[in-house]
Every structure is written in structure tokens, then in C-alpha cells.
Amino acid sequence: MSPQHRRQVLSIAAALGGALLFIWAARRAGVSEILDGIRRVGWGLLPLFALAGLRFAARAEAWRLCAPEGRRLSPGQAFAAFLAGDAIGNVTPLGWLASEPTKVFLTRHHLATTESISYLALDNLLYILSTLTVIAAAGVVMLVTVPLSFAWQELGIVALAVLLIGTIAGGLVLRGGSGLSNLFPPAWRVRVKTLRASVFEFWSAHPLQLARVLAFDFAFHALAVVEAYLSLNWLLGSASPTLREAFLFEALNRVITVTFKFVPFRVGVDEASSGALAPLLGMDPAVGVSLAVVRKVRNLFWAGIGMGVIAVHHAREAPATDRRENASVRRT
């Protein structure tokens, strides 16, 4: 089977699995309750779309600031390329393997390919660091404030320990001199060495810039918590959510996004996980599933805009098909 056919099979399997999981989660939570929750959000989707746009703008700015001044994309170029890459990563099972090359392709007229790859690698490294921080903080909050069984508490502590050890090991690999890089295949060792050089060059030349990039990455997470809080406020009706609940739902969403990126739009996985978290926070499972569905509508909206960016870019770059037009272009 060719690689293209394998990708198609994986895409179909992920989509079917996600669809079945979505149906199971929806039936378990109650379809009528979910639809009622979405109706309660109503026009509230508009500010949620706006908040999502601000989040994407924050991530795009973090990426843009990873390049030295004088070689940066404009805010508009970075935002458009980020939207396009995120859309491709959502609609295909390839995730980052599709989204990052899309950003490089769309910015190739403004940045050299090697530079673009280097800046993206640095941006992704700092974003992963911010995401791990958010997930670890949510794990601590979960263990301290949510009544869990002893088995789940043990599992949570082990997960936090693994996360901490993995983060320390990653830091030692980037720092160099620990010998951990020798555990990687030769091709990966070259990539680690290149990334290490990029990090230290960026840190030594722009120490304050690193803080700015991380600030935009954490702003991305903070806006997501605000978005979850507003959504829960509408979905719960007379009850009021807390920032703790919004934070835990969003942290779970980060975990699901990272783990199940190969499932297009995380269909079913997001609904099932949010529906499972809701009872632990004293909410009806339908609230968690509805929250995931609302996020899905937001994702579809911005993915549509991202695909539009790709279509416009393709139309601009497409050669003229009319012979007379081609002739006039050659004469000019």
C-alpha cells in the first residue's frame, strides 16, 4: 500500500471512529439537552468567534516574534498563514505534519525556507512549553480541588511525575552535554542540534523577546479559558461557572488536541472527554458535550476562513489559462 493510500485509510478510520464516538457521547448525554444548550448560546457564538480570532492572532504574533527584526512577517501575513496551517491541521489526520509545512509554503516569498522552518521550530518549542505548564497546573488543581477516587489520584500523580521528568529530560537534551541526544537516530540528532543552536541564538540576541513570545502564548491559553467561561455561563443558564471549571475544561481540551490531533476536528473525542469531566465538576454531562459542540462550531468557522486563505493564495499563484493572457504576460 502506497503512503498516499495509507494516509487515506488513516483519515477514513479516524473520521469514522470520531463519528461513532461523537454519536455515543451525544446519546449518552442526551441529544435534546445538547441542542437546548446550543440554543441557549445562540448569538453568543459571535463573541466566541471573536475571542477565537484573538487567540489565533496571539499565536501568530508569537510565531512572528521568533524571527529577528527586519526579517519578520507582517502581522497580517503571519495571521493568514497561521489560519491556513491550523485549518489544514484540523481537516486532515496529519496534524502538525500538515499545518507547519503549509505555513512554510504560504510564507516562502517572504522568508527563506530554512529560516521559516527554524522560526517555526522555535515557536512550537515555546508553545509546547506553555501548554505543558497549563496542563501541569490544571493537574494540580484537579488533584487538590476535585474529589477523585484513590486510583484516579494515583494515576494523576504518576501522570504529573512523568510530565515533569519528560520536561526536565527535554530541557537537558536542548541544553546539550547530557548525552541524552545520543539516544536519538542520527537524523534526529542533527535536528536537535539545529534547534539547540536556534534557541541559544535567539536567547543570547533577544532575551526580552523570549518573554514576549511566551506572554503571547500564555495569552492564547488565557483567552481560551475566558471563552470556556462565557460558553459555560450560557450553557448553565441560571447557574454560574467558576474560573476553575473553565480552566479545567480548557486544559482538558489542550490534552485532547495534542493527543488526538490525527482525528479531524477531534470529532467525538472532545465530546466524550468533556462529557466525562462534567460530572466530576458537579455538572450534567450534556453541559460538557454541548461545550465541545460549541467549540466545534467555532473551529469550523475559522477553518473555513483558513481554507479560504489557501484558495485565494492558490488563485493568485495559478498561471493564466488563456493563451492570449499568457502571451500578454510574456510580452510585458
Which residues form the domain of 105?
31-61+80-315
Q: Under a CB-based contact definition with an 8 Å cutoff, are residues 18 and 263 in contact?
A: yes
User: Does a structural domain hold residue 8?
Assistant: no
User: Does a structural domain hold residue 233?
Assistant: yes
pLDDT, one tens digit for every residue, the chain (332 residues): 666 666 556 555 655 655 565 565 556 655 666 666 667 777 788 999 999 999 999 999 999 998 877 778 889 999 999 998 888 887 776 677 778 888 888 888 787 777 777 788 888 888 998 999 999 999 999 999 988 888 888 988 998 998 888 888 777 766 665 566 666 666 666 676 777 777 777 766 667 888 899 999 999 999 999 999 999 988 887 778 999 999 999 999 999 988 887 777 787 888 889 999 999 998 988 889 889 888 888 888 888 888 888 777 666 665 444 444 444 434 44
User: Does a structural domain hold residue 130?
Assistant: yes
Q: What angle do CA 11, 38, 290 make, to 5 degrees?
A: 55
In three-state secondary structure terms, 67 is: coil
User: Does a structural domain hold residue 324?
Assistant: no
Instruction: Compute and round to an integer the Cα radius of gyration of the chain.
Output: 22
Q: What is the DSSP string of 49-100?
A: HHHHHHHHHHHHHHHHHTSPTTSPPPHHHHHHHHHHHHHHHHHSTTTHHHHH
User: Does a structural domain hold residue 188?
Assistant: yes
Kindly report the pTM of this predicted structure.
0.80
Phi-psi category of 62—alpha, beta or left, where left has phi over 0 and alpha has psi -120 to 50?
alpha
User: Does a structural domain hold residue 15?
Assistant: no
Burial of 72 (0-12, 13-18, 19+ CB in 10 A): middle
- The residue type of 69 is E
Q: Please give the tally of structural domains in the chain.
A: 1
User: Does a structural domain hold residue 4?
Assistant: no
User: Does a structural domain hold residue 13?
Assistant: no
